[in-house]
Amino acid sequence: MIADIIDKKADYPLSCHTTLKIGGNAECAFFPKSIDEFLSVRDYLVSQNKKITVIGAGSNLLVSSNGIKGGVIFTGSICGYKFLDDYRIKVDSGMKSAVLAKVLLEKNLSGLEFLIGIPGTVGGAVTMNSSAHGQGIDQVIECAEVLDIKTGKIIKLDKAELKLGYRYSFVEPNRHLILNAVFRLTPDSYSKIAECMNFHVNYRKEKHPPLTEPNAGSTFRNPERGVYIGQLLEKIGAKSWVEGGARLSQKHANFLFNTGNATSSDVSRLMYKMYNEIKKNFGYELIAEIRYVGEPTEEEEIIWKTFQVH
């Protein structure tokens, strides 16, 4: 089975699997349909001494234009769920965040309405401790199963052990993977939950650029409570900034998008300018919300060491 997957997915193009629409080819790509299949692929790649990269929905992600060596495992088909009781649900990491929000709406369960507007997966939402307008993953998560990709060990972590903070968790990029998570929700009326979901959708339509402008969501984390990078960038005229095929959004300056032919170097250079200008004008040293994967150029490697969490 593994051999068949390799034969069909060698030298696989990645740009169509990211919301930025940027990226070279994967040496090999895999699309497991269950956690057991994922573990089999992981074991195979380890046995072949191949680097492992995991991609969910491809949001908040910049893939190198040079591509990715080794094996890329996509989790989008690992999307099962089951209710453990009237208020708790166990969800696989590859389920789309918006799909989960709709499932909970039909069960009259509140707490994750904000996921309706996030173009990612549950695994990514837990990893980044996603939140918006008073709702957040950390308010409803009970526990998660986490795979150590390097050792193959699976551990179950409760909420405290996940160490959830602002756009942060225990999960280490390129080392750990959320396999599934359990959430405890609160019963509420269908109309109230739907109203809350509509608020989140409309807010994003009003404030954020659409995905018809290929983007990866917020570029940098806000440095502290009440300080918004988009507003700081707007104060220094950043909405006019362009680097090759990448430019900042006229709608929200902390979003950058691909005008059609942007490379990973274009995006990296534009992010570097954002970082340096914020540091020079306001004193903040920013951390990227976007994650970089793949084979960097020498320039990209230097740039990403500046603001990526390791």
Q: Which residues are catalytic?
A: 167, 218, 289
Q: What SS3 state is found at 294?
A: coil
What does the alpha-carbon distance between residue 275 and residue 285 come to, in Å, rounded to a whole number?
Answer: 7
Residue 32 structure tokens: 């497991």
Q: Kindly give the pairing relationship between strand 135-136 and strand 141-148.
A: unpaired
- CA-to-CA separations, 249 to 157, 219, 265, 279, in angstroms, rounded: 38, 11, 18, 20
Cβ count near 262 (within 10 Å): 24
Name every residue whose Cβ is closer than 8 Å to that of residue 223 and which is 6 or more positions away in sequence. Answer: 229, 284, 285, 286
**53 touches 99 (CB < 8 A):** no
Q: At 211, phi and psi to the nearest 5? A: -70, -5
Residue 108 structure tokens: 């009259």
Tokens 């540091």 belong to 279
Cα atoms in the Cβ-side hemisphere of radius 13 Å centred on 170? 19
End-to-end CA distance of the chain: 34
* Amino acid code (one letter) for 72: V
Measured at the CA of 262, the angle between CA 260 and CA 265, to 5 degrees, comes to 175
